[in-house]
């Protein structure tokens, strides 16, 4: 079976964000029962409930491991151990890779990434902390549309190529091959599929086709509108210009995917500016009416080989 857990659901910065007193962050601090705080996006998957794979590594990873018993070491297995078998990276974005540096306690790590993401991280001297002992970190290069098994689990992963550039800090690194700086993941186990696409710059026919083949899709919900960041702080970019199709409007994700009928559609990577975070907002209601769940920290799903989704 395929176990999927969301350990964090916010975009970079989390919710609330440290320097933000926008209406939503303020609401989160003052009325946490109405708008619950969220850690930065982190997911974990397993086919046996014992061996786990992290989808990216968030800056909140330490807290997320401590909040998730399945990811913790077990005293009967010795003083140093972990059920985390590997980490799969979908980009080199800081909010998706900084957690790797939190795993630097001489633990052997297996990391799957495209070669350009690997090279970007290896070019940063901080990441040498993961390579102090022979065999401490093992990188496995992955390529768009080339399926690979996750270690010795029953899960097969296929990188989904997405348009996208390397993050700003790596903008001097030349020549990222098309579709390798940012990928989605198609996760398959015993005939059941989950599409994991936390960063979607364009809803293409290819993506729609892929989503239709899945039991569950995890979708980029960074922004509601193209201009919401800009309205909070002048000089900040539009949603589409930084690789995120917004949810709302005629050309937004909800409209573009309105005819995708899969059993479980979940929104993830939600920026603190997105009004769906307030359950009393019209945008929240519109989202639910369109058949989407708004992912929350602790949300989980188990897909059995021959049954429908059981959340
Ligand atoms: Zn805010």
Residue 310 has pLDDT above 60, yes or no: no
Expressed in angstroms and rounded, the spacing between residue 214 Cα and the centre of ligand 1 is: 33
Expressed in angstroms and rounded, the spacing between residue 21 Cα and the centre of ligand 1 is: 6
In a domain, residue 309? The reply is: no
Expressed in angstroms and rounded, the spacing between residue 56 Cα and the centre of ligand 1 is: 23
In a domain, residue 79? The reply is: yes
Quick one: pLDDT at residue 142? 98
Expressed in angstroms and rounded, the spacing between residue 26 Cα and the centre of ligand 1 is: 7
Which residues are paired to 113 by β-bridges?
A: 141
Expressed in angstroms and rounded, the spacing between residue 16 Cα and the centre of ligand 1 is: 6
Q: For residues 2 and 194, what is the distance between their CA atoms, to the nearest angstrom?
A: 9
Complex-level ipTM: 0.99
In a domain, residue 308? The reply is: no
Quick one: pLDDT at residue 232? 82
Domain that holds residue 264: 2-302
Expressed in angstroms and rounded, the spacing between residue 271 Cα and the centre of ligand 1 is: 8
CATH of the domain at 103: 3.60.15.10
Expressed in angstroms and rounded, the spacing between residue 257 Cα and the centre of ligand 1 is: 27
Cβ-based neighbour number of residue 52 at 10 Å: 22
In a domain, residue 311? The reply is: no
How do residues 29-65 score in pLDDT, each as one tens digit? 999 999 999 999 999 999 999 999 999 999 999 999 9
Q: Which burial class, exposed, middle or buried, applies to 181 when counting CB atoms under 10 A from its CB (0-12, 13-18, 19+)?
A: buried
Expressed in angstroms and rounded, the spacing between residue 19 Cα and the centre of ligand 1 is: 8
In a domain, residue 307? The reply is: no
Q: Where are the beta strands (DSSP E) in 48-170?
A: 52-55, 84-88, 109-113, 137-141, 148-149, 156-162
Expressed in angstroms and rounded, the spacing between residue 230 Cα and the centre of ligand 1 is: 12
Collapsing DSSP to helix, strand or coil, 184 comes out as strand
Percent over 70 (pLDDT), the chain? 98
In a domain, residue 236? The reply is: yes
Q: Which long-range contacts (CB under 8 A, 24 or more apart) does 246-253 make?
A: 246/222, 247/221, 247/223, 247/274, 247/276, 247/283, 247/287, 248/224, 248/283, 248/286, 249/225, 252/224, 252/225, 253/200, 253/203, 253/219, 253/220, 253/221
Q: For residues 306 and 231, what is the distance between their CA atoms, to the nearest angstrom?
A: 48
Average pLDDT over the chain, rounded to whole?
A: 94
In a domain, residue 191? The reply is: yes
Q: For residues 10 and 243, what is the distance between their CA atoms, to the nearest angstrom?
A: 16
Expressed in angstroms and rounded, the spacing between residue 67 Cα and the centre of ligand 1 is: 24
Taking alpha carbons only, the member of 117, 125, 83 closest to residue 97 is 117
Q: For residues 203 and 162, what is the distance between their CA atoms, to the nearest angstrom?
A: 10
Q: At residue 220, what are phi and psi to the nearest 5 degrees?
A: -50, 115
Taking alpha carbons only, the member of 283, 168, 264 closest to residue 223 is 283
How do residues 150-196 score in pLDDT, each as one tens digit? 999 999 999 999 988 888 888 877 777 888 999 999 999 999 999 99
Expressed in angstroms and rounded, the spacing between residue 170 Cα and the centre of ligand 1 is: 26
Number of domain units in the chain: 1
Taking alpha carbons only, the member of 12, 64, 17, 62 closest to residue 43 is 64
Expressed in angstroms and rounded, the spacing between residue 13 Cα and the centre of ligand 1 is: 9
Expressed in angstroms and rounded, the spacing between residue 231 Cα and the centre of ligand 1 is: 12
Expressed in angstroms and rounded, the spacing between residue 227 Cα and the centre of ligand 1 is: 14
Expressed in angstroms and rounded, the spacing between residue 58 Cα and the centre of ligand 1 is: 19
Expressed in angstroms and rounded, the spacing between residue 20 Cα and the centre of ligand 1 is: 4
Residue 14 has pLDDT above 90, yes or no: yes
Q: Find all residues with CB under 8 Å of 128, minimum gap 6, and list them.
A: none
Expressed in angstroms and rounded, the spacing between residue 130 Cα and the centre of ligand 1 is: 33
């Amino acid at each position: 079976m395929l176990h999927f857990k969301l350990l964090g659901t916010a975009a970079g910065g989390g919710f609330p964000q440290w320097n933000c007193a926008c209406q939503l962050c303020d609401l989160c601090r003052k009325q946490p029962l109405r708008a619950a705080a969220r850690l930065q996006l982190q997911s974990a998957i397993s086919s046996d409930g014992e061996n786990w794979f992290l989808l990216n590594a968030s800056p909140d990873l330490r807290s997320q491991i401590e909040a998730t018993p399945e990811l913790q070491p077990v005293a009967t297995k010795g003083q140093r151990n972990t059920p985390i078998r590997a980490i799969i990276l979908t980009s080199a974005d800081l909010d998706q890779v900084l957690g790797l540096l939190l795993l630097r306690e001489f633990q052997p790590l297996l990391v799957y990434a495209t070669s350009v993401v690997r090279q970007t991280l290896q070019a940063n001297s901080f990441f040498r902390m993961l390579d102090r002992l022979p065999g401490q970190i093992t990188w496995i290069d992955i390529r768009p549309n080339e399926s690979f098994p996750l270690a010795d689990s029953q899960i097969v992963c296929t990188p989904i190529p997405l348009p996208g550039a390397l993050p700003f800090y790596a903008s001097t690194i030349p020549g990222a091959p098309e579709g390798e700086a940012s990928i989605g993941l198609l996760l398959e186990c015993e005939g059941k599929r989950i599409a994991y696409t936390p960063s979607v710059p364009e809803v293409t026919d290819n993506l729609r086709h892929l989503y239709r083949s899945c039991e569950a899709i995890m979708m980029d919900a960074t922004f509601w509108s193209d201009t919401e960041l800009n309205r909070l702080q002048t000089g900040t970019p539009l949603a589409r210009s930084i690789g995120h199709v917004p949810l709302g409007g005629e050309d937004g994700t909800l409209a573009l995917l309105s005819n995708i009928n899969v059993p479980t559609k979940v929104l993830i990577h939600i920026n603190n500016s997105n009004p769906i975070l307030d359950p009393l907002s019209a945008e929240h209601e519109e989202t639910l009416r369109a058949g989407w769940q708004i992912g929350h920290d602790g949300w989980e799903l188990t897909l059995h080989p021959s049954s429908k989704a059981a959340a």
